[in-house]
Amino acid sequence: MKAVKKERDPRVSVKKAPLTKAAMIASIQLREAAMFLELKKSEREYGSDDRLTNMLRSQWSSVNSMMKSLGIPEDNTLPDNQEATAIICERIARQQEA
């Protein structure tokens, strides 16, 4: 029995344009910022020693470590990083008031 060759649907694009280096870096920075914000929200809501917080910290730390090893800086201008910074500042202000 001979193998039957399937014809490719011309409407379906097989090849995607590869990401540029800048697009890859931006994508990694966006993901890291989103993970950092989720970590800071969890710390605020559940505390630093919570199981969910520890899981989020571990996940964020892995991505952050990879960024450092690749020489990719955090982008502090991203909205998620700015919101996370605001959460950190609020916590510091509360600690100073106490």
pTM of the model: 0.80
What confidence tens digit (pLDDT) does each residue in 16-26 have?
A: 778 899 999 99
pLDDT category, 40, cuts 50, 70, 90? very high
What confidence tens digit (pLDDT) does each residue in 63-93 have?
A: 999 999 999 999 999 999 999 999 999 999 9
Burial pattern 31-48, b for ≥16 Cβ within 10 A else e, equals ebbbbbbbbbebbeeeee
